[in-house]
Chain A
Amino acid sequence: MQKLDAEALFQTLVEQMRPHVTPDTALVGIHTGGVWLAERLHRALGLTLPPGSIDVSFYRDDFGSKGLHPQPKRTAIPFDVEDAHVVIVDDVLYTGRTTRAAINELFDFGRPAHVDLAVLIDRGGRELPIAARYCALTLPQPLPASQSLQLETDATGALTLRLIDA
């Protein structure tokens, strides 16, 4: 597989989103990679509403079989969701189940006017009817289930992508 340059993909994502966002577009990042991305996008796009963050641990559909995720993080939505234009931000789009959980959680804060999805990479393997409106790269071949893609960040906020073999 080609080498993935997370910073270049990030710039692609910014340019895809730029013509479509307005200053009051609200971003919500999914923990943990999506939160980093949402913060960087917020600055790059010059948005005014503070970005929110969602931990979907309490909305996952595998709670019954896997139990509660250890160390759940706090969900924080620092803007009024009612009638807002929201873009959910995640690093990697895979089965779509995390996105489903995030949409459900978002609606418990109010009724947004519009919800979009922005991701750095679509790795294929969807199990739900979910597609990203903004996506910097769609892998030509779906990644095998044994592999995972992980977004990492360093002290300067620079992004890197790592392929992990389970």
Chain B
Amino acid sequence: MHNPQLNKHGELQHLLTIDGLPRDVITAILDTAAPFTEVAEREVKKLPLLRGKSIFNLFFENSTRTRTTFEIAAKRLSADVVNLNVSTSSTAKGESLLDTVDNLCAMQADMFVVRHAASGAPFLIAQHLLATGRDHIHVVNAGDGRHAHPTQGLLDMYTIRHYKKDFTNLTVAIVGDVLHSRVARSQISALTTLGVPEVRVIGPKTLLPTEVERMGVRVFHDIREGLKGVDVVMMLRLQNERMNGALLPTPQEYYKVWGLTAEKLALAKPDAIVMHPGPMNRGVEIDSSVADGAQAVILPQVTFGIAVRMAVMSMLAGQQGSNK
């Protein structure tokens, strides 16, 4: 089957989703990210790999952490980064997505980092570039609607591998608002591709997608039952802004039943790690004592995220020669 993310040599052309990405490509990204983590400790925190490349951060949806870490990653690779803020851009004046892209291509863009509220927007851009013969320009999905957030999924895998070494003997729990979460979809795809034998999703029926079992996960509607004996707890943010209708009672009530407290975490393995993609709602999905506790690896996730994004961008940009 044609994979729009890979070129004819099986190399990464765009990063749109983890779903369908071969295991060896995921592993290669994680392996490549490892030496990038060391750059932050240098006198000069820069590598010359993307010198002279122009990377456009196209954020049609608000984000601070993701946009900033993409920007730092690109700058540490010596690329020129242009941030486009949608509220001040032509889109606000009615320009279409693809017209915006065409204009930026005319400014010699080499890569687009795209976040959009509509699922599939980065794929649409990649298809458009292919159809117009500009497939030397790369697209990185920085989160599209409820679909995917592949670099988040990859940095989560990097974090798990850093602390747990091997994926093939782990039990991993994903807790909370799976329904609205593109992060959860990317995590599930990555975990199952990397051979994690048991992936659990834990949440209220109203916040789990129907037939989520078909993604290869075990479903729990009781958080205490679901957390028993797990190695990794991946919390999700409660996405108030994406909710239509009454899926939830109140944040306080959600916290009482679904919030990760020290008492609930004690049901997991003693050396279990706690992850969160941010931004955290303290006192809603996670208690402060857990978020700041010894088992939390939430800030290392952010740091690893820079290295993983450096790896993705340099692997994409480095392919420009080989498919010419």
Binding site for B on A (CB under 8 A): 55, 57-59, 63-68, 70-76, 81-82, 104, 107-110
Beta-carbon contacts of B197-235 to A below 8 Å, as 1s and 0s? 000000000000000000000000000000000000000
Give the residues in chain B near A58, CB-CB below 8 Å.
Answer: 35, 47-49, 314
User: Is B43 an interface residue, CB under 8 A from the partner?
Assistant: yes
Interface segment among B119-127, B151-159, B278-286, B315-323: the answer is B315-323
27 sampled A-B residue pairs with Cβ under 8 A = A58-B47, A58-B49, A59-B47, A59-B48, A63-B49, A63-B318, A64-B320, A66-B318, A66-B321, A67-B321, A68-B49, A68-B314, A68-B315, A68-B318, A70-B28, A71-B32, A72-B32, A73-B35, A74-B35, A75-B35, A82-B43, A104-B48, A108-B43, A108-B44, A108-B47, A109-B42, A109-B44
Beta-carbon contacts of B22-49 to A below 8 Å, as 1s and 0s? 0000001001101100100011101111
CA A76 to CA B37, docked complex, whole Å? 11
CA A63 to CA B319, docked complex, whole Å? 9
Give the residues in chain A near B44, CB-CB below 8 Å.
Answer: 107-109
Give the residues in chain A near B315, CB-CB below 8 Å.
Answer: 67-68
Interface residues of B, count at CB 8 A: 21
A58-B48, A67-B322, A70-B28 known; A76-B38 Cβ under 8 A: yes
Interface contact A67-B43, CB-CB below 8 Å: no
Question: Which applies to chain A's interface (DSSP): helix, strand, loop or mixed?
Answer: loop
Q: A55-B35, A108-B46 are in contact. List 15 more A-B contacts (CB 8 A).
A: A58-B314, A59-B47, A59-B48, A65-B321, A66-B318, A67-B322, A71-B32, A72-B32, A74-B34, A74-B35, A74-B38, A75-B35, A76-B38, A81-B43, A104-B48
Interface contact B46-A67, CB-CB below 8 Å: no
CA A74 to CA B43, docked complex, whole Å? 16
CA A109 to CA B46, docked complex, whole Å? 10
CA A107 to CA B46, docked complex, whole Å? 11
Give the residues in chain B near A63, CB-CB below 8 Å.
Answer: 49, 318
Q: What is the distance, in angstroms, from A102's C-beta to the closest C-beta of chain B?
A: 13
Smallest CB gap from A107: residue in B: B44
- A-facing residues in B1-20 (Cβ within 8 Å): 11
Beta-carbon contacts of B291-324 to A below 8 Å, as 1s and 0s? 0000000000000000000000011001111100
Give the residues in chain B near A70, CB-CB below 8 Å.
Answer: 28
Smallest CB gap from B320: residue in A: A64
CA A82 to CA B42, docked complex, whole Å? 12
Interface contact B38-A64, CB-CB below 8 Å: no
Interface contact A66-B322, CB-CB below 8 Å: yes
Give the residues in chain A near B11, CB-CB below 8 Å.
Answer: 67
